[in-house]
Amino acid sequence: MYALAFDLGTTTLAASLIDLRQGLRLAMTGSMNPQRTYGADVVSRLDAALRSDATRQEMSRLIRDELWRLALELCDRAGVPASAVRQAAIAGNPAMQHILLGLPVRSLALPPYRPLQTAGSALTAGDLGWPGDAALYVFPMPGGFVGGDTVAFLYGTGQTGNGDRGPGIGKLFYPSRIPRPASLFLDMGTNGEMALLAGEEVWATSAAAGPAFEGGNLTCGMAALPGAISSVRIVEERLRLSVIGNGPPIGLCGSAAIEAVCELLHHGLLEPSGRLLDGDEIVSNLATRVIRHNGENAFVLHRDSQRQLLLTQGDIRQIQLAKAAIRAGLEVLAERSRIHHKALREVVLTGSFGAVLRPEWLKTVGIFDEGMVDITRFVPEGALSGVERALLAGDGFDSVGQLAGRFKVLPLSGTPLFETLFLEHINFPNTSSFNPETH
Spatial separation of the C-alpha atoms in residues 33 and 94, rounded to whole Å: 15
CB 90 within 8 A of CB 16: no
Give the domain extent around 53.
2-177+381-408
- Evaluate whether residue 76 is within a structural domain: yes
Q: Concatenated DSSP letters for 155-203?
A: HHTT--TTSS-----TTSSPPPPPP-SEEEEEE-STT-EEEEEETTEEE
- Evaluate whether residue 32 is within a structural domain: yes
- Evaluate whether residue 208 is within a structural domain: no
Q: Which amino acid is at 396?
A: G
Spatial separation of the C-alpha atoms in residues 329 and 316, rounded to whole Å: 20
CB 249 within 8 A of CB 288: no
Number of domains composing the chain? 1
Cα–Cα distances in Å, from 55 out to 10, 118, 192? 16, 24, 25
DSSP state of 270: B
Which CATH number belongs to the domain containing residue 133 in this structure?
3.30.420.480
Question: pLDDT of 141-190, one tens digit each?
Answer: 998 789 999 999 999 998 765 544 443 333 333 333 433 468 999 998 88
Average pLDDT, the chain: 90
- Evaluate whether residue 296 is within a structural domain: no
Question: pLDDT of 76-116, one tens digit each?
Answer: 999 999 999 999 999 999 999 999 999 999 999 888 889 99
Q: b vs e for 250-275, b when ≥16 Cβ sit within 10 Å of the residue's Cβ? A: bbbbbbbbbbbbbbbbbbbbbeeebe
CB 391 within 8 A of CB 135: no
- Which of 297, 295, 301, 371 minimizes the C-alpha distance to 330? 371
Spatial separation of the C-alpha atoms in residues 59 and 45, rounded to whole Å: 9
Spatial separation of the C-alpha atoms in residues 115 and 310, rounded to whole Å: 39
Mean pLDDT over 232-236 rounds to: 95
Question: pLDDT of 286-340, one tens digit each?
Answer: 999 999 999 999 999 999 999 999 999 999 999 999 999 999 999 999 998 888 8
**Residue 77 CB neighbour total at 10 angstroms:** 13
- Evaluate whether residue 349 is within a structural domain: no
- Evaluate whether residue 99 is within a structural domain: yes
Collapsing DSSP to helix, strand or coil, 409 comes out as strand
Q: Percent of the chain scored above 70 by pLDDT?
A: 92
- Evaluate whether residue 27 is within a structural domain: yes
Spatial separation of the C-alpha atoms in residues 265 and 242, rounded to whole Å: 20
Q: Percent of the chain scored above 90 by pLDDT?
A: 74
Question: Looking at per-residue confidence, does 143 or 437 come out higher?
Answer: 143
Cα–Cα distances in Å, from 93 out to 7, 99, 153, 215, 361? 9, 10, 12, 19, 26
Question: pLDDT of 179-216, one tens digit each?
Answer: 346 899 999 888 889 999 988 889 999 998 888 888 88
